Amino acid sequence: MKIAILTHFNVANHGAVLQAHALRHDLQSRGHSVVFFENIRRVEPHTFKQIVSPFSFKSIRKKLTYNRDLRAFKPFHQTLPAEKDPPGCGAYVVGSDQVWSVDFHGHHLPLVFLDVFPENALRISYAASFGRPIPENLRDEVGDYLKKITAISVREQNAVDWVRDLSGREARWVCDPALLCDAEHYDTLLPQGKPKPAKPYVFAHFLTPDKTRSAQNIARLLGVNKIISSRRVSCNPLDIALGVKPFVGVPEWLWRIKHARFTITNSYHATLFSILCKVPFITIPFKGDFADRNDRLASVALRLGLEKRICDPSLPGALAAAVNAPVNWHDVHQRLAAWRDETRVFFQEAGLG
């Protein structure tokens, strides 16, 4: 069967592109032909005119960084085949990531809730995320869309209740697609021929806001002298002058997690890949306006028995306690295997084998 996936596959975000890759790989392993639906979210670099207007140091740096990030991700984007309007699809799968976020997709809800596709095709959500609760003025509309979906699964545990409340439907709580593949699969994406690091290091990957001081404290607690981040120093003179430090590409990002002595992050997917690679980690929860991002962290930590790895470094002694606490990787991966089995059942019941 030909399947079209609707997700954020073409953005400059390591977790987003890797979860897209993993879902495609899993569906292909079930014998399906898989493409990505190109128009869910248009991603274009800033033009020169956009970069210099408005003319401020901060905006120029951010826009240049964004362009450099897209360039770093382009080789991986090219491994994910996309079509603007894929013909002949027997199924449409939306997910994972925040594909049901009204902040991202409020202007085309019928698309992301699969209402625009043929009724005789399978319309399935896999590990879809709302990001935050649906606003009151959109609840009836979204509830109607959910009632028409063939099979519903969600990424966060609390979204099971949200779907039930909106539509009366039962949703399955499944793992993020990135967890469907094991570490050995991701080894095939690592930079070819790159040797293992000569010295141990702490890997620091932060979305906003940065927590560099916490990374330094962890390195000190571990007796490690080196911290490596997910960004690189550009050789471009303009980038150097403006402080532009773009992300490393996907292969290098995976390599830095795999070989780290320890990971500190506030990223959901950096957390997942630390788990897959059995690298001890601490994930710092968000506060304030970004606190709703913590639902996804809480869900996976609860399911895999890793609640103590979610750590607020501002609490006295919390960082040292988390660093010194051992991780029972055997138990974690047994739980993960059981969660993967539930995904297989979901796909079978949804008609994807």
pLDDT tens-digit series, residues 69-101: 888 999 999 999 999 888 899 999 998 889 999
Strands (E), the chain: 2-6, 33-37, 82-83, 91-94, 122-128, 151-154, 172-173, 202-205, 227-229, 262-265, 281-283
Residue with tokens 């593949």: 181
Whether 17 has a pLDDT exceeding 90, the answer reads yes
CA 326 → CA 20, 183, 201, 289, 308, distances in Å? 31, 20, 18, 32, 10
For the chain, report the end-to-end CA distance as a whole number of angstroms: 10
- Give the lowest-confidence range in 55-59, 109-113, 240-244: 55-59
- Encode pLDDT of 115-162 as tens digits: 999 999 999 999 999 988 999 999 999 999 999 999 999 999 999 999
Instruction: Report the CATH fold assignment for 191-335.
Output: Rossmann fold (3.40.50)
pLDDT at site 256: 97
Average pLDDT in the 274-299 region?
Answer: 87
**What is the C-alpha to C-alpha distance for residues 266 and 248, in angstroms, rounded to an integer?**
17
Pick the CATH number of 2-46+76-180+337-350 from 3.40.50.2000, 3.90.550.10, 3.30.310.80, 2.60.120.10: 3.40.50.2000
pLDDT at site 245: 83
The pLDDT-based confidence of 57 (bands split at 50, 70, 90) is low
The pLDDT-based confidence of 252 (bands split at 50, 70, 90) is very high
Residue pair 219/225 in contact by the 8 Å Cβ criterion:
yes
pLDDT at site 121: 96
Sequence ranges of the domains in the chain: 2-46+76-180+337-350, 191-335
CATH topology identical between 2-46+76-180+337-350 and 191-335:
yes
Q: Considering the chain, what percentage of its residues have pLDDT values greater than 90? A: 69
Whether 209 has a pLDDT exceeding 80, the answer reads no
Please state whether beta strands 202-205 and 172-173 pair in parallel, antiparallel, or not at all (unpaired): unpaired
For residue 114, count other CB atoms closer than 10 A to its CB.
23
Asked whether the whole model's pTM tops 0.75, one would answer yes
pLDDT at site 143: 97
